Structure 1
């Protein structure tokens, strides 16, 4: 099973032919800029399309803290996304309280473990919406 750096490398090398379809769901690559290091970091993340936008979840398996990639968005919400062979810039934002129930249901239907992860932590797991930037 692909995971971590190996997953990213295979995904990039094959334009997602290996790594996009994963454990019965779909994965994109999210590249953020490290808030401390300034270095680019890429994470393979489960996603779903919602209209023209892409939705991902900052679950970290229900850990007490959000994943590093989510914290990086505070400093620089402009990210790079790869879905299969499509690479584009996007702006990331946390779903508003009004939006979250709908997009959470979408993501939990895709990966039911998200509901379990939420029960493991006191933090409210954020849902992130990625909006493609023109140009």
Structure 2
């Protein structure tokens, strides 16, 4: 998919993504963890986490809501960017960090990350595509391999707030 097409999809969804993030942050995680994405091809009961990372160039803190799955005790997030030809900025920011923050519902943690490879990657991809079927279309629309990031939770941290988000 051309980046311009992916940008159009993101622009159309920008309002509800922003509202979703705001709801998640202002409620301390009591709202936003389960979110209906059936309107964009997903499922009604889709789990979402928040990730918090530091911009590799700007040094600013960014919080993003992402669909997640639990695979083998690790949190899985997908760098789909709607099938755009470039990786999402949050993925590049994670690559530049040893740890990030992750919030699931009302609990937040410091997390380390890794990327699955080989057969494990295939299994994780199949699992995530089952959770959110549009990932399949996204992958078909771009020549880049959509990244999968596995997060291992560590020490508890404070839940994210609106002050954390750009």
TM-score, reference length from structure 2:
0.76
Give the alignment's Cα RMSD to 1 decimal. Answer: 1.5
**Among 59, 65, 72, the residue aligned to 2:86:** 65
Alignment of 1:37-76 (within 5 A): 37-76=58-97
d(CA) in 2 for partners of 1:115, 1:15: 32
Match of 2:17 in 1: 3
Residues matched between the structures, number: 134
Is 30-39 or 18-27 further displaced after alignment? 18-27
Query: Residue 16 of structure 2 aligns to a residue in which SS?
Result: coil
**Among 105, 112, 115, the residue aligned to 1:94:** 115
Unpaired stretches in structure 1, ≥5 consecutive residues? none
- Which structure shows the bigger proportion of residues in helix conformation? 2
Query: Residue 31 of structure 2 aligns to a residue in which SS?
Result: coil
Residue 122 (structure 2) pairs with residue 108 (structure 1): no
- Which structure shows the bigger proportion of residues in strand conformation? 1
| Contact 1:35 1:71 survives alignment (8 Å) | yes
d(CA) in 1 for partners of 2:119, 2:94: 20
Query: Residue 119 of structure 2 aligns to a residue in which SS?
Result: coil
Match of 1:15 in 2: 28
Q: Deviations over 1:11-61 (max 9, x none)?
A: 022233321111221100001110001111011000011132100100000
TM-score, reference length from structure 1:
0.92
Is 16-25 or 66-75 further displaced after alignment? 16-25
**Among 55, 74, 83, the residue aligned to 2:104:** 83
Aligned structure 1 segments of 4 or more residues deviating by more than 6 angstroms: none
Q: Flag the structure with larger Rg.
A: 2
